Amino acid sequence: MANLYIHYPFCKQACHYCNFHFSTGAKGRDQMMELIEEELQMRASELKSPLESIYFGGGSPSLISTERITSFISKVTNQFDTVEGMEITLEVNPDDVDENYLSRLKLAGINRLSLGIQSFSEKDLRLMHRAHDRKEAENALKAVTKQFENFSLDLIYGMPDSSIGDWEESLLLALSYDPPHISAYALTVEEKTVLHRLVNKDKVTLLPEETVKEQYDLLVALLEQKKYINYEFSSFGKPNFFSVNNQNYWNGKGYLGLGPSAHSFDGQAKRSWNISNNHLYASGVQSGKLDREIEQLNTKDRYNEYIMTALRKQEGVSLVYVKKAFGKTHAAYLEEQVSRHLAVRNLFWDGDHLKIVREAKFLTDGIAADLFLI
Ligand code: SF4
Taking the centre of ligand 1 as the mean of its atom positions, its distance from the CA of residue 118, in whole angstroms, is 11
**pTM for this model (two decimals):** 0.96
Rounded mean pLDDT of the chain? 97
Among 312, 262, 316, 315, smallest CA distance to 3 is for 262
| Position 52 pLDDT exceeds 80 | yes
CA of 130, closest atom in ligand 1 = 6
| Position 227 pLDDT exceeds 70 | yes
Taking the centre of ligand 1 as the mean of its atom positions, its distance from the CA of residue 128, in whole angstroms, is 10
What does the alpha-carbon distance between residue 230 and residue 193 come to, in Å, rounded to a whole number? 30
Taking the centre of ligand 1 as the mean of its atom positions, its distance from the CA of residue 359, in whole angstroms, is 32
CA of 129, closest atom in ligand 1 = 6
Tell me the pLDDT band of 1, cut-offs 50, 70 and 90. Answer: low
Q: Which residues pair with 313 in a beta bridge?
A: 232
Segment 128-166, tens digit of pLDDT: 999 999 999 999 999 999 999 999 999 999 999 999 999
Mutate to test the pocket of ligand 1, among 8, 10, 11 (most ligand atoms within 8 A of CB): 11
Taking the centre of ligand 1 as the mean of its atom positions, its distance from the CA of residue 130, in whole angstroms, is 8
Tell me the pLDDT band of 49, cut-offs 50, 70 and 90. Answer: confident
**What domains can be seen in the chain, in order of their start residue?**
3-250 (3.20.20.70), 299-370 (1.10.10)
Q: Which residue has the least CA distance to atom 2 on ligand 1?
A: 59
Mutate to test the pocket of ligand 1, among 6, 10, 15 (most ligand atoms within 8 A of CB): 15
Segment 54-77, tens digit of pLDDT: 999 999 999 999 999 999 999 999
Taking the centre of ligand 1 as the mean of its atom positions, its distance from the CA of residue 18, in whole angstroms, is 6
DSSP reduced 3-state for 151: strand
Taking the centre of ligand 1 as the mean of its atom positions, its distance from the CA of residue 155, in whole angstroms, is 13
Tell me the pLDDT band of 48, cut-offs 50, 70 and 90. Answer: confident
Total number of residues shown for the chain: 374
Check: CB of residue 1 under 8 Å from CB of residue 264.
Answer: yes
Q: Which residues line ligand 1 (CB under 6 A)?
A: 11, 14-15, 18, 20, 22, 58-60, 93
Angle subtended at Cα 124 by Cα 245 and Cα 219, rounded to the nearest 5 degrees: 50
Among 19, 13, 3, 124, smallest CA distance to 55 is for 3
CA of 58, closest atom in ligand 1 = 3
